Amino acid sequence: MAASPEAVGLQPLAFPFQAPACDGSLVDVVPGSIKWLRMPLPMALDHINLYLVRDGAGWRMIDTGFDTRQTRALWEKILPGLDGPVTGIISTHHHGDHCGLAGWLTEKLRVPLYMSRAEYFAMRLFGEKASLDSWEYKEYFRRAGLSAEQLTQMAEALKQFHVDSPLARAYQRLRDGDSLVIGGREWQVRGGEGHSPEHCALHCPGLGVLLSGDQLLARISPNVGVLPFEPEANPLKDWFISLERIGKLPDDTLVLPAHELPFYGLGRRALELRQHHLGVLDRVLGLCADLPDSIFGLAQRLFPDRRSELDNVLAISETLAHLAFLLEQGRIGRSLTAAGSYEYRVAA
């Protein structure tokens, strides 16, 4: 494929490391400063990358893993083997794979949890199981075009992902533009929106490293979705702005992401992700031009490879994000059907 004019001069993606097993084995990605480990996840995306950053005599933990017996057992094995204490836990954002064990670890290690404010409260909000049965959730899925029966089926399937994890109370706020000193080096907090409300990536200019969380992944396009608690949001607009900002970091930065492999090629990847969404926007417009359709109808046509109820939810939320973006631009319109679902068509 020919490079786009914008990508000229940007290096192609390069992957300097092999993946370790999902068993807590430690890899020195920046010798003396950063260790990388993988933990298993109980879903299609089957792993998360976690990092330990040297902090004086100890280590600062970046993300915690999902709260499962297996992950807890891995930490029980890894922690005593470290040559120093954990000095604090940084969670990039509120998704369960990133902070699921924050409560358990802050309690066990008696250290603070560093997180942005919106992510901290989102984590506490999503800790509530009851929200799946709330009228807002039901309305969100009815508006998307699901029948009452489909909705019940989906709610049942989603409940299995709910874990009653202990709450993290030892909280310290991070925000975009903050500087943290970890192990005598300056790390800059880089805020991002769209995938989650106030995601924090961490950039260390001295080491030339970006701990990117889910903000920049090498092959996966992180989910950008409209969620039931804020059904009129336009997260794709925020995501485009955030991609542009993160894509301006030095192109020789080593990106240490939360999933898949560490890589070089940050500028190109930010551009690819932008182009991916521009492509989806075009496809959504094309589909709406064919015939007016519901959110779920469009999601099924856009994402034919869905294999689970979780995939359905992600597809609905992602489709809705693209529809919200086009709606705000006035390129499509929507109307409410008698059945209570939205129907989208290309604006006249």
Residues making contact with Zn ion (CB under 5 A): 95, 97, 214, 258
CB of 45 to Zn ion, least distance (A): 7
Shortest reach from residue 127's CB to Zn ion, in Å = 16
Q: How far is the CB of 153 from Zn ion (least distance, A)?
A: 25
Structure tokens belonging to residue 206: 């001295």
Beta strands in the chain (DSSP E): 27-30, 34-40, 47-55, 58-62, 86-90, 113-116, 171-174, 179-182, 185-192, 199-204, 209-213, 254-257, 332-336, 342-346
Smallest distance, Å, CB 277 to Zn ion?
A: 16
Q: Is the Cβ of residue 55 or residue 97 nearer to Zn ion in the bound state?
A: 97
- At residue 157, the 3 state secondary structure works out as helix
Q: Which is nearer to Zn ion, 214 or 343 (CB)?
A: 214
Taking the complex as a whole, how short is the minimal distance between the CB of residue 97 and Zn ion, in angstroms?
5
- Return the number of the residue (19 or 346) whose C-beta is nearest Zn ion: 19
Q: Give whichever of 119 and 214 is closer to Zn ion, judged by the CB atom.
A: 214
Q: Which of 277, 263, 271, 274 is nearest to 217 (CA)?
A: 263
Q: How far is the CB of 198 from Zn ion (least distance, A)?
A: 12
* Shortest Cβ 216–Zn ion spacing (Å): 12
- Interatomic CA distance for residues 233 and 99, integer angstroms: 24
Q: Where are the alpha helices (DSSP H) in 160-265?
A: 235-246
Closer Cβ to Zn ion, 144 or 258, answer by number: 258
Q: At what angle do helices 235-246 and 309-328 cross, to 10 degrees?
A: 90
Structure tokens, 105: 């670890």
Based on C-alpha coordinates, what's the Rg of the chain?
A: 21
Nearest to 45 by CA among 8, 97, 9: 97
Closest CA to 238 of 197, 299, 268: 197
* Smallest separation, CB 346 to Zn ion (Å): 32
DSSP-derived secondary structure for 270-320: HHHHHHHHHHHHHHHHHHHHHS-B-HHHHHHHH-TT--SHHHHHHHHHHHH
* Cβ atoms of residues 249 and 203 within 8 Å: yes
CB closer to Zn ion out of 258 and 280: 258
Choose between 97 and 272: whose C-beta lies nearer to Zn ion: 97
3-state helix, strand, coil in the chain (%, to 5): 35, 25, 40
The whole-angstrom separation of Cα 281 and Cα 66 is: 32
Q: By C-beta, is 216 or 258 nearer to Zn ion?
A: 258
Rounded Cα distance, 118 and 175, in Å: 10
Given the complex with Zn ion, which of 60 and 259 has the nearer CB atom?
259
**Taking the complex as a whole, how short is the minimal distance between the CB of residue 328 and Zn ion, in angstroms?**
24
